[in-house]
Structure 1
Amino acid sequence: MKNKSKIYFPFLLGLACAAGVLLGAMLDFSSNETMFTSNPKKAKLSRLIDYIDYEYVDEVNTDSIVDVTVNRILENLDPHSVYIPKTEYANVTENMQGDFVGIGVSFYTVNDTIVVIQPLEGGPSERIGIRGGDRILYANDAQLFNKNITNDSLTSKLKGKENTKVMLTIFRKGIKELLKFDVTRARVPLKSVDAAYMLTADLGYIKINRFSETTYKEFKQSLNTLKSQGAKKIALDLRDNPGGYLSEAINMVDEFLEDGKLILFTKNKKGAIEETFSTSEGAFENNEIFVLINENSASASEIVAGAFQDNDRGTIIGRRSYGKGLVQREMELGDGSAVRLTIARYYTPTGRSIQKSYKEGNESYFKDYTSRYKNGELVYADSIHVKDSLKYVTPGGKIVYGGGGIIPDVFVPKDINFESENLSYLLRQGFLSKFVFEVLEKDRDYYNALSWKEFQQEEMITEKVVADFFQFSRELNIPMEIKEYRPLLKRYLKASMAQQLFGNDKFQRIINNDDRIIEKVIELSQTN
């Protein structure tokens, strides 16, 4: 890639814009039908749609007109009020539920055949012995190879109702006969805790990718495990976490705050304020906490960081967070679609709003990363623009600012070297993962037999593997020019390999090696 394309929007930035802080249950309008029938403006829009349906000279898909109309209406409200079409709503809901019903595998389609990347941890396929590299040829009697089948169609054949069975016919390299696996579909966890392990003898680390319905449960299990391993301090990694359910974030914060501390408050358009306080249930109230954030930490992640910072609890490390302080609620529209509508603003305990301005329109709002890149704030802390009018003081006398994100207590600059950014971008697009999958396919028996200890000790990414990667990238017209960043490339390749063989936890352990923010956390933990 050429150096003139120096700015890459992190993959999760878009996700951060879409994921909202979800409060409570869906609104129930069934007992208030007059809300929909008494407004002449709504009747006017409905009548126009009917005229187009019955009188217009050409056939028109009025469903698409309605979708466009809804989107245009929401675009004039705020950047986080969004329409979720029927075709997307099930996937959005599933992602935030924290699990799905199916056989529990991730897969690629290679040469018109489904190839298992890895069985998902805790799923039925893992339990009955399906492995990475297995080819799924049939689901019951349905042929899945040499057919023009979309991923959606494949997924529908592998998913199903809980406790239903599907007979999988599988080809495994090195075995002549086809294998039969009778799989009982079950709930497969979509984990929001990517990794939990000890960074030092007394410093535990927990990486959370989003706040789903199961996040607090996963977090509490991880916290208890780390405590049993000697953790007296915790590094909570919320980098690139776009947010999610407010209740899960509150429960997490409550583990670290003593009874009666304000966590946040919300205010709606009528001025009604709802405050949330910590309880006496915390399991880590007297221990040190470090919270890692960056420019893609949004919404519920900012609630966590803001609650700690405003209560003079722990240390916030990294770069200024995204700046989303709007509260959304999802409301179904009756046809399988839904709207995620902003219903309130949230405020940190000192009373500051961290919502960045959207007065210049959605396009400018979503290009805020570019502005931060250009003004230098990703590299220099003194380039972060603050307003004295938005200055607040914590009970301990610390000065904090509102008006757009959480500014960390300890700033760690971003590595904005072109090649480093280039590699990070490709990793998030799945480019490295596809290459690594092909490497593993060349000797599945060897790789699948490796233990984690053996994997760590072996030189998995040789110079030949690196040369093959460059050839792979050239074939896809993605030329790479790596010089001093060759070690970084090797680390990313090994991390992707670890992910496919051992899961996300091992991926994160390798990626965290030589990570600037992790190094700063370890340094601070040893000086306090």
Structure 2
Amino acid sequence: MEENKIQNSKATVRTPIIVGTTLALGILIGATFFGGRRPAGDVSRSSSKFREILSYINRSYVDSVNTDSLVDYSITKMLEKLDPHTYYFPPQDAELARSQLESGFDGIGIEFNVFNDTVYVVTPLAGGPSEAVGIQSGDAIIKANDNNLTGKEASSTNIFANLRGKRGSVAKLEIKRKGFKDLLKFSVTRDKIPQYAIDAAYLMSDKKTGYLKINRFTETTYDEFKEHMANLQKQGMKQLLLDLRGNPGGYMDKATDIVDELVAGKGVIVYTDGKDSRNNRKSHAHIDGMFEKGPIVVLVDEGSASASEIVSGALQDYDRALVVGRRTFGKGLVQQPIQLSDGSELRLTISRYYIPSGRGIQKPYVKGHLENYDHELDDRGKSGEYFVADSIKNNPKMRFKTMGGRTVYGGGGVTPDIFVPRDTSHITKYLMELYGRNIIREYAMSYANENSKNLSKQSFDSYLKDFTVSDAMLNDMNRRLNQTGVTYTAKEFADSKDFIKSQLKAAIARHIWHRSVKNGLNNEYYQIIYQDDPMIETAIKSFVKAEKLERERKL
């Protein structure tokens, strides 16, 4: 597969430029891209004016003023005049933002949930420091190092500030546990806590389809991908269902590495174009991939962005995969993260990226008027796009061709080959109350803890086949919701009942079988909730077309 096999007109395709290791969302390209194209004097004069005003405010303003907050506010408002993805993180948020893309962080090793302004342990991570000292699912963390974590103090910022910390440091926790009158005290020595990018990787019931769900493209995504793909191939995988729904992106080089494992030849995977030519790079396929033969279906939706769009769009451009779902988000801008001296971080847009056919996937925006951009996904709903394929308004001026001559569009995300509408038949106000008050998750946690001995005795396959969420369980759960002041609505409950049962069964399974898992996979959970998923069902049926696409690609 050579890059010159994709033919688009010179007016359509921008001159290819050289692309290398980048990030999408916080896209890392390097540290020496700012050579001062604008005369330094202009910047100096502008900044001098700002410093002068700030100095007058600090010295003479009638009231006391926090100048740091004024500076942060000024920076934020200034960046609103640029694009939607140039962003400033103040020091207290920067470390948390960076940790989302790292391989792990230092902390106490729990998955938690905030319910009724209280931090509850969903599960202590297997092999982590909290599990080692005896912290259990359902424990409520009341204090950490004498700092309250309840009520107004149960904010994400405060929780992370108290539970995360340097490896080897100690978090002294005060915990409320069901059945104990007094608070229990634990000293947890923080350690490195791994983060996983792949939520599920298992062979489906047909024994030939490998299902793999990537939640974002982090430092470890590519290594996790190779490990799980190798295991699936050992189990007999013949075709791949790659789920990128809700994946917001991450490191671009991890996305291109995965594409390289799936496409043959030396073709272009992605290239970038920026004002500074040093930001222009090109990335080619260059290795013998582990799954270059065999049909692929990729699932996407409006939550699939950035690096997810590179993977789905590149595979579509090379006719290597059939894309199923709904139009993706449409983020085609590249950011460079710049750490500032006070610990804050600027993510500055430095280029646009383009996938193999030459199309850019960035949706339109107007500088300084970002409110319309923020509401674009809502506008899709109002126009009916989530429910009717014909409601997708592709720009006819952004028409491109795949290697096999199929028509694709740029300028607004990746449009799927096969559209699947949203299923809202089960969405009711009552269901939203259950979610909003975390009743399903909280009930599943307590049920799993109370019945763990009996449930753990059986295999997951047996649980999947035989376990049924009873009406008594549903009634008990509904009573918990009613106690929060929500009135039971019989019709709404009936409309959501099957969905609630599936979610509850999956959440219980996750508590029971995830406790012994150390690779981050939630296979049991996803095997249950996706049993009746319309997009999964459509994807399975689409492998016939995916096989045809592969045959035609080889001709």
Same fold (TM over 0.5): yes
Residues 113 and 416 (structure 1 numbering): CA distance in 2 closer, same or farther, change over 3 Å? closer
1:474 CA displacement: 3.3
Q: Does 1:334 align with 2:341?
A: yes
Count of matched residue positions in the alignment of Structure 1 and Structure 2: 509
Match of 1:188 in 2: 193
Q: How far apart are the structure 2 equivalents of 1:472 and 1:176?
A: 22
Name which of structure 1's ranges 174-183 and 363-372 shifts more when overlaid on structure 2.
174-183
What secondary structure is seen at the aligned counterpart in 2 of 1:485? helix
Match of 1:280 in 2: 287
Q: Does 1:523 align with 2:541?
A: yes
Match of 1:216 in 2: 222
Match of 2:314 in 1: 307
Q: How far apart are the structure 2 equivalents of 1:279 and 1:187?
A: 34
Q: How does 1:39-78 map to 2 (within 5 A)?
A: 39-78=44-83
Percent of matched pairs sharing the same residue: 38
What secondary structure is seen at the aligned counterpart in 1 of 2:105? strand
Structure 2 gaps, min length 5:
1-22, 515-521, 548-555
Residues 234 and 454 (structure 1 numbering): CA distance in 2 closer, same or farther, change over 3 Å? same
TM, length-normalised to structure 1: 0.85
- Conserved? CA contact 2:431–2:496, under 8 Å: no
Match of 2:501 in 1: 490
- Of 396, 402, 406 in structure 1, the residue corresponding to residue 410 of structure 2 is 402
Q: How does 1:13-28 map to 2 (within 5 A)?
A: 20-26=25-31
What secondary structure is seen at the aligned counterpart in 2 of 1:419? coil
Name which of structure 1's ranges 223-232 and 181-190 shifts more when overlaid on structure 2.
181-190
Residues 497 and 334 (structure 1 numbering): CA distance in 2 closer, same or farther, change over 3 Å? same
Name which of structure 1's ranges 242-251 and 440-449 shifts more when overlaid on structure 2.
440-449
Tell me the amino acid that sits aligned with residue 403 of structure 1. G
Q: How far apart are the structure 2 equivalents of 1:36 and 1:471?
A: 68
1:356 CA displacement: 0.7
- Conserved? CA contact 2:426–2:499, under 8 Å: no
Write out per-residue CA displacement over residues 487-509 of structure 1, whole angstroms, 9 at most, x where no aligned residue: 11111122222233334332222
Q: How far apart are the structure 1 equivalents of 2:115 and 2:453?
A: 19
Q: How far apart are the structure 2 equivalents of 1:146 and 1:21?
A: 32
Tell me the amino acid that sits aligned with residue 466 of structure 1. L
- Conserved? CA contact 1:113–1:144, under 8 Å: no
Write out per-residue CA displacement over residues 308-332 of structure 1, whole angstroms, 9 at most, x where no aligned residue: 1111111111111011111111112
- Conserved? CA contact 1:21–1:246, under 8 Å: no
Match of 1:390 in 2: 398
Q: How does 1:491-506 map to 2 (within 5 A)?
A: 491-503=502-514, 504-506=522-524
Tell me the amino acid that sits aligned with residue 207 of structure 1. K
Match of 2:265 in 1: 259
Match of 2:88 in 1: 83
Q: Which has the higher contact order (CA 8 A, sep 6+)?
A: 2
Q: Does 1:94 align with 2:99?
A: yes
Residues 123 and 238 (structure 1 numbering): CA distance in 2 closer, same or farther, change over 3 Å? same
Write out per-residue CA displacement over residues 379-407 of structure 1, whole angstroms, 9 at most, x where no aligned residue: 11111112221101122111111110100
Q: How far apart are the structure 2 equivalents of 1:180 and 1:422?
A: 38
What secondary structure is seen at the aligned counterpart in 1 of 2:281? strand
Q: How far apart are the structure 1 equivalents of 2:270 and 2:433?
A: 34
Q: How far apart are the structure 2 equivalents of 1:146 and 1:69?
A: 32
Match of 1:249 in 2: 255
Name which of structure 1's ranges 176-185 and 499-508 shifts more when overlaid on structure 2.
176-185
Q: How far apart are the structure 2 equivalents of 1:242 and 1:435?
A: 29
Q: How far apart are the structure 1 equivalents of 2:478 and 2:60?
A: 60
Runs of 4+ in 1 over 6 A off after TM superposition: 28-32, 109-114, 135-139, 141-149, 165-182
Residues 177 and 304 (structure 1 numbering): CA distance in 2 closer, same or farther, change over 3 Å? same
1:58 CA displacement: 1.4
Q: How far apart are the structure 1 equivalents of 2:57 and 2:184?
A: 56
Q: Does 1:509 align with 2:514?
A: no
Q: How does 1:52-451 map to 2 (within 5 A)?
A: 52-107=57-112, 115-126=120-131, 130-134=135-139, 150=154, 158-163=163-168, 184-199=189-204, 200-270=206-276, 273-359=280-366, 361-417=369-425, 419=427, 423=431, 427=435, 430-440=438-448, 446=454
Q: How far apart are the structure 2 equivalents of 1:362 and 1:111?
A: 34
Match of 2:519 in 1: none
TM, length-normalised to structure 2: 0.81
- Alpha carbon RMSD of aligned pairs, Å? 3.6
Residues 279 and 149 (structure 1 numbering): CA distance in 2 closer, same or farther, change over 3 Å? same
What secondary structure is seen at the aligned counterpart in 2 of 1:22? coil
Residues 242 and 113 (structure 1 numbering): CA distance in 2 closer, same or farther, change over 3 Å? closer
Residues 286 and 20 (structure 1 numbering): CA distance in 2 closer, same or farther, change over 3 Å? same
Residues 63 and 198 (structure 1 numbering): CA distance in 2 closer, same or farther, change over 3 Å? same
1:156 CA displacement: 5.0
Structure 1 gaps, min length 5:
1-17
1:146 CA displacement: 9.7
What secondary structure is seen at the aligned counterpart in 2 of 1:116? strand
Tell me the amino acid that sits aligned with residue 501 of structure 2. K
